[in-house]
Amino acid sequence: MHDDERASDTELAAAVARGDAAAFEQLVARYGTDVWNFATRWCADRQQVPDLVQEVWIKVWHGAAGFRGDARLRTWLFAIVHRTGVDFARHDERRPRTVALPDPDRTDADLGAIAGPEDGVAERDRLRRALALIPPGHRTAILLRHLLAMPYPEIAEVCGVSEANARSWVARGRVALTRLLAVPDTVESADVPAGRVPLS
């Protein structure tokens, strides 16, 4: 992001912190699509998406004063998205889930393609169900990398880990996701709790 764009984001966040509803609407317009697209792939249950997104924007509205401008606004925003998603996942982990897994011919190289808006609903649902079985941090890292093309240093900031850990989360999560997507459609996991697929 260029310096002038960062300044614009900083000014926007400052206005939201002052309670400027119009600035908040601009903020939602600027980043709302990315937040929604991320949430639709992050949530194990599609019905949770509106609740997750609403909770994120409530936290942004009430917490904008916490944005200090020493990082990108997108980084700060997706840190909120990540933490909110983890909270949702903790609640969701209490329920075991059986997931039908897709297409046996997927490989790592396909991850970016199947995250795109050009794919059908069924295709995205298969990816979402597989992602739901990966631990939340790895899930976030994979989506930030493949959906938003976020650089590793920024992923590290969002997730609150070192850059080395962010790289490891993407790599290990990608391996786990590839394994899940390699299982034929007819094979279902036997009551696998969300976020409990081994990464080793």
- Residue ranges of the domains in the chain? 3-193
What does the pLDDT read at residue 190? 34
pLDDT tens readout for residues 59-80: 999 999 999 888 899 999 999 9
Kindly indicate the confidence band of residue 132, based on its pLDDT and cuts at 50, 70 and 90: confident
Average pLDDT score over residue span 25-40:
94
First to last CA, the chain: 35
Fold (CATH) for 3-193: Rna Polymerase Sigma Factor; Chain: A (1.10.1740)
Q: Provide the whole-model pTM.
A: 0.76
pLDDT tens readout for residues 101-131: 233 333 333 454 334 555 566 777 778 888 8
Kindly indicate the confidence band of residue 45, based on its pLDDT and cuts at 50, 70 and 90: confident
Structure tokens at 117: 């808006």
173 φ, ψ (degrees, to nearest 5): -65, -35
Phi-psi region of 114 (alpha: psi -120 to 50; beta: other; left: phi over 0): alpha
Highest mean pLDDT among 30-44, 94-108, 124-138: 30-44
| DSSP type of residue 97 | E
**Percentage of the chain lying above the pLDDT 90 cut:** 50
What does the pLDDT read at residue 24? 95
Give CA–CA dist 171/142, Å, rounded.
8
pLDDT tens readout for residues 154-176: 999 999 999 999 999 999 998 88
